């Protein structure tokens, strides 16, 4: 029986804000995988990328997912690159329903433009719009392969999307709201 909800998807698709609303509604714990990684490393995500490199970040991410996948009654906001490692997907799938959040490249650009400095995958790009399109194109199959179901977050309010997710989970065999 699956007793966690894991939100996956590209940067700026609303995993954190959705996750917080959903966790509050279910009275479950909200877990941000990036925050766990930063805690483990003792430094910020941009510092991990700058000082230790992306591979070191991905190794910490694998460890963070391993830890979090053991828990129960959690809404887990995964970083945008979690799905790139099949071991992460396999571990999450044992205990969690994976919900893919999507948004148009324009929405992603708008949502990420204010805090691009905190997103190393976008910081160095001279043309962020093109970078977002390229990354999205490359990653789409990874996201789709990981997802149990998909929700587009571009067009609806957080409340509407939360209700959509809860409705879908009610009909999802093998998921238990009671944890
Ligand atoms: C990343 C997304 C970020 C964070 C890191 C790498 C990615 O998380 O894990 O900067 O590769 O897409 P968010 O999706 O929460 O911004």
* Alpha carbon distance 18, 13 (integer Å): 9
Mean pLDDT for the chain? 94
Contact 21, 92 (CB under 8 A): no
In order of start, what are the domains of the chain with their CATH numbers?
4-170 (3.40.50.300)
Evaluate if residue 176 carries a pLDDT over 90. Answer: no
Mutate to test the pocket of ligand 1, among 55, 79, 125 (most ligand atoms within 8 A of CB): 79
* Ligand 1: nearest atom to the Cα of 112: 16
- Residue nearest (by alpha carbon) to ligand 1 atom 4: 79
Given pLDDT bands bounded at 50, 70 and 90, which one contains residue 174?
confident
* Ligand 1: nearest atom to the Cα of 37: 9
DSSP 177: T
Q: Structure tokens of 76?
A: 């887990």
Evaluate if residue 30 carries a pLDDT over 80. Answer: yes
* Alpha carbon distance 34, 70 (integer Å): 17
More confident residue, 176 or 52: 52
* Ligand 1: nearest atom to the Cα of 78: 15
Which single residue is written with the structure tokens 């990328």? Answer: 49
Predicted confidence at residue 23, as pLDDT, reads 96
- Report how many helices (DSSP H) and strands (DSSP E) the chain contains, helices first: 9, 5
> Whole-structure pTM over 0.85, yes or no?
yes
Residues paired with 32 in a beta bridge: 77
Q: Which residues line ligand 1 (CB under 6 A)?
A: 11, 15, 34, 45, 79-81, 119-121
Compute the average pLDDT of residues 146-172.
Answer: 92
Evaluate if residue 119 carries a pLDDT over 90. Answer: yes
């Amino acid at each position: 029986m699956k007793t966690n909800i894991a939100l996956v998807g590209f940067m700026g698709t609303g995993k954190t804000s959705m996750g917080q609303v959903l966790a509050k509604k279910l009275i479950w714990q909200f877990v941000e995988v990036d925050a766990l990684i930063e805690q483990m490393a003792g430094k910020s995500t941009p510092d991990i990328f700058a000082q230790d490199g992306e591979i070191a970040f991905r190794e910490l991410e694998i460890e963070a997912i391993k830890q979090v996948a053991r828990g129960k009654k959690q809404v887990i906001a995964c970083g945008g690159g979690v799905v790139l490692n099949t071991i992460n997907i396999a571990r999450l799938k044992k205990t969690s329903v994976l919900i893919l959040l999507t948004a148009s490249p324009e929405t992603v650009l708008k949502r990420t433009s204010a805090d691009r400095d905190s997103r190393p995958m976008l910081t160095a790009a001279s043309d962020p719009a093109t970078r977002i399109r390229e990354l999205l194109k490359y990653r789409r199959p990874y996201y789709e392969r990981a997802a149990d179901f998909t929700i587009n977050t571009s067009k609806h309010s957080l409340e509407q999307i939360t209700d959509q997710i809860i409705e879908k989970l009610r009909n999802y065999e093998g998921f238990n709201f009671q944890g």
